[in-house]
Structure 1
Amino acid sequence: MYVETTFHDAMEQENSLPGWRQEYRQVSTGGYDGRTAAILLPGVEILRETISVGTEQVFSAPEGSMIFYYYPKRDESQLVHGESALGVSGFALNWTNRVGFMDSDSDLLMLVLRRDLIADAHCGGKKQLIEAPMEQAAFLADWLLSLLGAASQQQHPSPPGNFDDTLADVITDRFELLFQRSVFRETPQVAAAEKIYMKIRDRIFDAPDRPHTVRSLSRDLDVSALDLRASCQNFAQIPLDKMLTLLRLNGARRDLLRARSAPRKVSDIAMDWGFFHWSRFALRYKSLFGERPSDTLRGGTSSDSIPPLPLL
């Protein structure tokens, strides 16, 4: 079965992948434009997700799944955070309560299989990332993309009843062959930075109305200000001071969207997230999301121009 959906807000798209638990937050300016395309087969899913703006993504993959991921290369520009290879690819295991960042115009291809479909899942419980041979990964990705393209255009007549099972078997065979030729990699520095970043964001959401500063976070988390700044910069590629504002703006947006069915005042929501200067909040909000807070609340977008204001 082929499914394709478009989205105009991060909160809408975070529920688009079957069996995944996700939260998306916008971290770069501009209107949101996202799309997911999927082929759903017995025990096998081909997923492609594109997003126009930078996002922070907190996610857990379906329990008991193995994932091949690939970022199709569109042009000669850098792809994600300085990566200049033909594409970024690998296998992921035990993706639970993880956090990552996707750049603007991100394009992610994933193949998701149940663990029990793989004959030799020699994947030690602590291993999470496996590097796949680039040329072979690109070959598999091109084939998966061609399947998605054909399904989207309905180029073939309805297949016989057992076609889905046969295709799932062929995909699983190719997945397993590439997996067996891949190399386990551990990235302790990235893991350490992710752990500290998660502490930062958890503290923000535990007390959203507090005027958090780097110094106050340092005291609350018992982590030096230097380590807090370095971890956020290394992991998110965004300065910590700016990230604190981005997280609070996204929290306010999620509450504004929910308030469409349970009316609340924009000013009350802004204060809930530590924004006590109304006009400055409205300017920062529109600079990030491309619309006024009141437009989000009522479900429309104003064409009135507001001059951009730096997030910091």
Structure 2
Amino acid sequence: MTTCNPLQVQAFNTADVAEQVRATPGWVQHYQQMSPGHFAGQIRYLDLQGVEVYEEQMNTRVEQNFSAPQGALAFCFDRSDNALYLLNEDSRNIWITPENYQEIAVVFGPEFVRQQGLDLAKLEGLFMTQLKGGQNALFSRWLSSILTKLSQPIDSKEKDALTRQLLEDCLFILDNARIGLDHGELQRRTEERTLMKRIGEWAADSPEETLNLLELSQVAGVSLRQLRQAFKAYTGMTPSQWLRLRRLNSAHRELLKCTPTQTTVAEVAMNWSFWHLGRFSNSYRSLFKELPSETLKRSPMA
């Protein structure tokens, strides 16, 4: 007799990038807010026991530094530009999303990947590459509708059929999206991705360390010109802007962790190399829509 196992789509509304990270289990990632406003996000998540479908929405620009779960293969559909991005555990990179970002992804877990005999080595060169295809938008809308409609119990045969369909559909869409790839452009993007991967690994491994522009180019192992080109392609901003926003996010995290009896706004500002308190407060308020003193007062520790 086949038993019915209710599959529950879980939904989380978040008010901070750190909450957004905690709502996506299994991923190694670090988020930083990169545009002004009170952050608001949402995660919808469905676990098919070996295959996961999740949908993410965020209202501000966010820098994501991440890698997929070990041994997994992820098909991520960026609904802002209808592109497919293929990810695995080695796809550590800096990714800055636009405002009002929406993404939906299918993540095939390591056991499922092994059972299906998928050879990830054959996909080398495609990871973190923008893959355009006519079916991308249609498929991502269908995935979103699955999360909306799937609210009643589903038995094991139906679940297995759905996971097989997801795999077949994702591989089919990948084959269509890789047709017509410009290999010269792919090589250039691969070199830029390698450069940004070095920076991403440094940022993930040293989240509280600060560097100047020259030191950052040394981390990347390239000239300042190459550094600026890669940042423009991947983030849409200069490396100097990125470093400044990184320091503002670090100050934000410190203010949230401390109480007014433990520190002052001036001390936190100087910890992150903001020597002009008025300019720091203005920049902070522009990004987070509140004064640093207000953040300190509303700390959970306060």
Match of 1:91 among 79, 83, 86: 86
Q: 2:66 aligned with 1:67, yes or no?
A: no
Write out per-residue CA displacement over residues 77-104 of structure 1, whole angstroms, 9 at most, x where no aligned residue: xx4xxx5xxx112433444422211111
Q: 2:146 aligned with 1:147, yes or no?
A: yes
Q: Secondary structure at the match of 1:241?
A: helix
Residue 100 of structure 2 aligns with an amino acid whose one-letter code is D
- Partners of 1:91 and 1:275 lie apart in 2 by 38
State the partner residue of 1:297.
296
State the partner residue of 1:46.
53
- Cα distance 1:128–1:268, how it changes in 2: closer, same or farther (>3 A)? farther
- Cα distance 1:135–1:178, how it changes in 2: closer, same or farther (>3 A)? same
- Partners of 2:240 and 2:62 lie apart in 1 by 17
- Partners of 1:163 and 1:263 lie apart in 2 by 56
Q: 2:17 aligned with 1:10, yes or no?
A: yes
TM-score, normalized by length of structure 1?
0.77
Q: 2:44 aligned with 1:37, yes or no?
A: yes
Residue 89 of structure 1 aligns with an amino acid whose one-letter code is L
Greater CA deviation, 186-195 or 290-299? 186-195
- Cα distance 1:42–1:280, how it changes in 2: closer, same or farther (>3 A)? same
State the partner residue of 1:183.
178
Write out per-residue CA displacement over residues 122-166 of structure 1, whole angstroms, 9 at most, x where no aligned residue: 643743437767233334323211111113xx4xx4334654344
- Cα distance 1:248–1:119, how it changes in 2: closer, same or farther (>3 A)? same
State the partner residue of 1:264.
263
- Partners of 2:218 and 2:293 lie apart in 1 by 36
Identical-pair percentage: 24
Give the deviation of 1:170 after TM superposition: 3.1
Residue 283 of structure 1 aligns with an amino acid whose one-letter code is N
Contact 1:117 1:172 in 2 (8 A): no
State the partner residue of 1:113.
108
Residue 101 of structure 2 aligns with an amino acid whose one-letter code is S
- Cα distance 1:197–1:162, how it changes in 2: closer, same or farther (>3 A)? closer
Q: Secondary structure at the match of 2:240?
A: helix
Give the deviation of 1:296 after TM superposition: 1.9
Contact 2:83 2:131 in 1 (8 A): no
State the partner residue of 2:283.
284
State the partner residue of 2:168.
173
Residue 289 of structure 1 aligns with an amino acid whose one-letter code is F
- Cα distance 1:271–1:196, how it changes in 2: closer, same or farther (>3 A)? farther
Contact 1:118 1:172 in 2 (8 A): no
- Cα distance 1:260–1:3, how it changes in 2: closer, same or farther (>3 A)? farther
- Partners of 1:229 and 1:89 lie apart in 2 by 25
Give the deviation of 1:203 after TM superposition: 7.6
Residue 44 of structure 2 aligns with an amino acid whose one-letter code is A
- Cα distance 1:218–1:95, how it changes in 2: closer, same or farther (>3 A)? closer
More helix, by proportion? 2
Q: Secondary structure at the match of 1:124?
A: helix
Q: Structure 1: where are the runs of 5+ without partners?
A: 73-78, 301-312
State the partner residue of 2:125.
127
- Cα distance 1:163–1:264, how it changes in 2: closer, same or farther (>3 A)? farther
- Cα distance 1:91–1:215, how it changes in 2: closer, same or farther (>3 A)? closer
State the partner residue of 2:64.
57
Contact 2:11 2:45 in 1 (8 A): yes
- Partners of 1:190 and 1:43 lie apart in 2 by 31
Greater CA deviation, 275-284 or 112-121? 112-121
- Partners of 1:43 and 1:209 lie apart in 2 by 37
Residue 280 of structure 1 aligns with an amino acid whose one-letter code is R
Residue 103 of structure 1 aligns with an amino acid whose one-letter code is P
Give the deviation of 1:294 after TM superposition: 2.2
- Partners of 1:10 and 1:279 lie apart in 2 by 25
Write out per-residue CA displacement over residues 178-202 of structure 1, whole angstroms, 9 at most, x where no aligned residue: 4455538663323433444455573
Alignment size in residue pairs: 283
Greater CA deviation, 141-150 or 113-122? 113-122
- Partners of 1:45 and 1:191 lie apart in 2 by 28
Q: 2:240 aligned with 1:241, yes or no?
A: yes
Q: Secondary structure at the match of 1:112?
A: strand
Residue 116 of structure 1 aligns with an amino acid whose one-letter code is R
Contact 2:69 2:88 in 1 (8 A): no
Greater CA deviation, 263-272 or 12-21? 263-272
- Cα distance 1:141–1:203, how it changes in 2: closer, same or farther (>3 A)? closer
**RMSD between aligned residues:** 3.2
State the partner residue of 2:99.
104
